[in-house]
Amino acid sequence: MIPDDSYDVLIIGSGAAGLSLALQLPPGFRCGVLSKAHMNAGSTFWAQGGMAAVLHDRDSVTAHADDTFNAGAGLCHAPAVEFCTSQSRSVVDWLIAQGVEFDYRSDQPDDEFREFHLTMEGGHSHRRIIHAADRTGRAISDVLTQNAAAADNIALLPDCYAVDLIRQDGRCVGAYVLDSENSTVHTVASRAVVLATGGASKAYLYTSNPDGASGDGIAIAWRAGCRVANLEFNQFHPTCLYHPEAKSFLITEALRGEGARLLLPDGEQFMTRFDRRGELAPRDIVARAIDHEMKRLGLDCVYLDISHRDRSFLRSHFPTIFDRCLALGIDISSDRIPVVPAAHYTCGGVVVDQHGATDLPGLYVVGETACTGLHGANRMASNSLLECFVYAASAAQHIAASELPPAINLAQWDDSRVRVSDEGVIIPYHWQALRRLMWDYVGIVRSDRRLEFAATAIELMQTEIANYYSQFRITRPLLELRNLAEVAGLTVSCALSRKESRGLHFNRDYPETHETPKDSILIPHNQPPFQGPNPTQLPEYKFTDSPQL
């Protein structure tokens, strides 16, 4: 239910980025936070592994930055990497002040000088993953949601789906919002709008993401005239549980950080044939290695083995995984875990600057929806939560310091010329067809022929979806399909423009990597001309100040 039709800041998305931004706005800013389902429905709640942070003198910000550069396959932007990695300690301090309880080392005295328990993940040169057992996202999400609900200036708005942004005089001035409870579209004015809707991994048939990861923010911003970049870099997590009853269940990379080995059915350990780092190579390398072995041998899955670790250690450090697997008849202290790669993270997104500001004045984008330049061609494990908090703080500071115009009266949504659908079968048909198409043709290994076929098929789907959208009353499934098809088309366009293999994008027709890295930037053609300094490059960072967490 939407209690007001006007806010100072309208935040679309209730994950780590959206909630932390809301909590860091000055109390005088009236803020509405939309979630298209319940408030914990996003990807943050399900994040298992943790957050990368430099927290002891055996590590350094320089080492964290170097690891991020190496994982990003030459496409990371130095200012973004330096900006983000330098803030990790302050992010942890802010989260602790909010009430998040991270794990400490159990072998030290229970006093104020205890060190955090840090885990190791792929691509990192040090143990630097701070966590709360294997349910870090849930610990963070619960605390932030509770604090936001208690704030007088924040309204939490579940079951509200953003349809599109409203532009007026070259500025974002609000959004049309579907109230799913009563199937009514509201017109909501706002002095600033923030998109924090997560990624688009639901475009793939197999994914670790919850159902809501349908690329909404990316599609909405594109339709409003914002550039998008690097959408060809879809990260496939190497290890999702392979079981008919285990929909989207992730087996955290921290398990491999604690010594889990990837095995073929005959027990052969294969990762060292692909990379000297073995199981702790970056995710793109591990996922391609598993994909290669599955296709070479005709396997349904490979296996992850952590049975050499003590049962009590596994129960205490990985309780969620231990219990979930046990419920499915897999005792990870003695049994091998069947795993397959699955779409996990969208490394590209809406082009933003260091404050999360987009090409459209009044519109900010944070979290997985944004392309900041941090991840390059492959996100390093556990940098995503860190990015959410750093850029949310920077955006909140920028919004608070800006002279925002007052909210204005806007035209109401007009649905007088549409009717209730009598052709609902179209939506699930295209939903399944699109996700199968993306998995088969725009997956871990690609070719120009596959990509061109996908582009043609998606264009036909988009035409039929647009016809359906113009005739019938909108619903959440229709909006998700519309957005997912939009982002799928943009992904294929980015992939076709990259005539090389780099990071997460591997094209059999172009197996080599170019010496000079270049971003894949798409500019909307149906919007006013881009007014920025260089439409084919990401914005330069100014470093006027650091976010105050």
AA identity, residue 300: D
Runs of H (alpha helix) within 47-125: 61-71, 78-85, 88-98
CA 205 to chain centroid, in Å, comes to 17
Contact indicator for 96, 113 with CB cutoff of 8 Å:
no
User: For residue 156, what are the β-bridge partners?
Assistant: 33
* Phi and psi torsions of 401, nearest 5°: -90, -10
The set of catalytic residues is 283
Q: How far is 303 from 407, CA to CA, in rounded Å?
A: 55
Q: How far is 26 from 16, CA to CA, in rounded Å?
A: 18
CA 311-317-318 angle, to 5 degrees, is: 85
AA identity, residue 68: T
Torsion of CA 395, 382, 378, 372, to 10 degrees: 10
Residue 172, both tokens: 């974002």
* Phi and psi torsions of 230, nearest 5°: 60, 35
Runs of H (alpha helix) within 364-475: 383-401, 426-441, 448-471
Distances (CA, A) of 537 to 223, 229, 490, 520: 20, 9, 17, 9
Q: What is the DSSP string of 495-506?
A: HHH--S-BTTB-
Q: How far is 364 from 360, CA to CA, in rounded Å?
A: 8
3 state SS of 185: strand
Contact indicator for 22, 33 with CB cutoff of 8 Å:
yes
Task: State the DSSP code for 214.
Answer: S
